[in-house]
Amino acid sequence: MQISTSAVRPAKTAFQFFDLGAQFETIRGEVLQAVGAVLDSQQFILGQQVDLLEQELAAFLGVPFAIGCASGTDALYLALLAQGVGPGDEVITTPFTFVATAGSIARTGATPVFVDIRPDTFNINSDLIQEAVTERTRAILPVHLFGLAAELRPILQIAEKHSMAVIEDAAQAIGAVYYGEKVGSIGTFGCFSFFPSKNLGCAGDGGMVTARHPGNADRLRLLRVHGSRAKYHYELLGTNSRLDTLQAAILRVKLRHLDNWTKARQERAAIYRQIFEDKHLSDAVTLPEAPSHSSHVFNQFVIRSTSRDSLRQFLQEQGVPTAIYYPEPLHLQPAFSYLGYRAGSMPESEAACEETLALPIYPELPVESQERVVDAIAEFFHSKLHHSRRK
């Protein structure tokens, strides 16, 4: 039998890192009605619900076209295909992201080219992009990580100079604003995920690609149905990647609540900041950057500490759930070893993987839980301080 410190000091009951149940309680009636209507229609592939969701999302984002697809991963893949990216091409992206970002590039046959991040925003460092451009670079694929917009202005300038596309990975950032415009409406394409834990999540997998040019929108619509406009006639090679009618019906219900949920996330982020300040922890941990030109939508509230692992262990013993996004950068993953990157080649991304810790954040998160999180962090740093003084 193992004796742990939690046997000495009993752990308080744990709460959840993320709680979809609390949200479902508030929309149960609306969702069940929407699902019932689709089941009554027995129409499950594309159709009116998908058309309407595409129109509503395009209006919400302020972009001419939105095309539903099967996942956020496919949204990236379809955008790259629509841009004509394939073998021999290079696409510039960040190694500090979910695997789908670079995986989708590789899936087209193109080569992901990694550029390091900024330590404060965790987003791709636009100052380092130019030197990564070659005559093979076809696109830049910035990620709006954790809900904060990447530096799109300089990125768009570089892209324009070299006639490259900008494909925004907005999977974590629906509703985030950059200089007055919603992310995912600014580049050539914008890619969204409706995975349940995203700010707008469905009841399974789903995704959406936005486009600003009718030609691109048309290609996306073809690519998601095997390149077919007329039945059994194929204009180009595509795939099967549609958004389910059921998911679209659920997403239409949830989209009506998204602005309120975003506000609630932002309020919780502000509450965290306040409690951290009240407890004089501003020097012990680094809180998320919030530039004035952008609105952060806090898919994650990620703090930074050089004692991340021992802090996380302590919080776990206290029943405080946390998560690590991401424990390993993509350039050092076995799946990308063929690209030949070495440890030390992306120092900021590698440091971020060692030092970042995501705290619970969701629209219904009770303030008492937030206090418990920060209390436990304060306790960790006080005992650490005490310990180092005694030595």
Binding site for ligand PLP (CB under 6 A): 71-73, 97-98, 100-101, 143, 169, 171-172, 193, 195, 205, 207
CB atoms within 10 A of CB 10: 9
Question: Which amino acid makes up residue 127?
Answer: D
Among residues 204 and 227, whose Cβ is nearest to ligand PLP? 204
Give bridge partners of residue 356 from the DSSP assignment: 304
Question: Which amino acid makes up residue 333?
Answer: Q
88/39 Cα distance (integer angstroms) = 45
Shortest Å, Cβ 176 to ligand PLP: 13
Among residues 137 and 172, whose Cβ is nearest to ligand PLP? 172
Q: What size, in residues, is the chain? A: 391
358/315 Cα distance (integer angstroms) = 12
Structure tokens given for 265: 């996330």
369/373 Cα distance (integer angstroms) = 6
Instruction: Give the ranges where 224-307 is alpha helix by DSSP (H).
Output: 245-255, 258-278
Among residues 208 and 211, whose Cβ is nearest to ligand PLP? 208
Instruction: Give the ranges where 99-241 is alpha helix by DSSP (H).
Output: 100-107, 152-161, 214-223
Shortest Å, Cβ 99 to ligand PLP: 8
Shortest Å, Cβ 237 to ligand PLP: 21
Shortest Å, Cβ 345 to ligand PLP: 21
Question: Which amino acid makes up residue 179?
Answer: Y
Among residues 205 and 355, whose Cβ is nearest to ligand PLP? 205
Among residues 129 and 209, whose Cβ is nearest to ligand PLP? 209
Among residues 93 and 137, whose Cβ is nearest to ligand PLP? 93
Helices 367-390 and 308-317 cross at an angle (nearest 10°) of 120
Shortest Å, Cβ 11 to ligand PLP: 30
Shortest Å, Cβ 169 to ligand PLP: 5
